[in-house]
Amino acid sequence: MVRQPKKFLATIYKIWMMRHVDVPPEIADALIKQLHSSKHTAAASKKRKQPTPKHIPVVATVNHCSTRTTLVPAGAGRFRLQINTALRKAGGADAGDVISVALHLDTAPRDVPMPAELTSVLKRHPRARKEFDQLPPGHRRQLLLYYLRAKSPKARAHVTERFLDHLHERALLRQPRSKPKPKPAAARRK
């Protein structure tokens, strides 16, 4: 069943250097319902209330330019859409301008397969492998795409080194969870 895109007008605003638009609540709710119905049968979803997803995968279209992206939380149960450069240029707009946006739910898988050579590199670096496995899916995907863009052996070696440096740095910066210090006996008696 082909569903009609959810269309709306929105004003672009800027957070730091990124551009965003707020997604109307009724459109976000409709996409969430589609997401739940694509994952479960109608009978199963009636048995228990489905939790609100943290992110909603969509295909966003502005002036016939489409991109696969994700609606992200904007606080208070609302969602926002990041307007990347391609969408912004397609709309001929920037912060403060109004654009027309069409959203389709994107249920296609977004997994990027792990290259065999990277798997063998990570086997030789267990700390980096552990850190890679703990990354959120989107971060893992972006690292794999960065790695796969390098085509020549020299470029691949350079990217592999940077890839490992990034993972080792994250592992070193991760603060170990410390146990709370016990209170002195005198402080407990008060």
Indicate if the pLDDT at residue 96 is higher than 90: yes
- Tokens 């004003």, residue? 11
User: Distance between CA atoms of 48 and 33, rounded to whole angstroms?
Assistant: 14
pTM: 0.66
User: Distance between CA atoms of 4 and 2, rounded to whole angstroms?
Assistant: 7
* pLDDT tens digits along 129-147: 999 999 888 788 889 999 9
User: Distance between CA atoms of 42 and 34, rounded to whole angstroms?
Assistant: 11
Indicate if the pLDDT at residue 44 is higher than 90: no
Indicate if the pLDDT at residue 123 is higher than 80: yes
Choose the most confident range, by mean pLDDT, from 113-127, 133-147, 161-175.
113-127
Helix (H) or strand (E) holding 57: strand 56-62
pLDDT of residue 121: 95
The mean pLDDT value of the chain amounts to 87
**Could you give the count of Cα atoms lying within 13 Å of 181 in the half-sphere of its Cβ?**
4
pLDDT of residue 163: 92
% of the chain beyond a pLDDT of 70: 85
Q: How confident is the model at residue 181 (pLDDT cuts 50, 70, 90)?
A: low
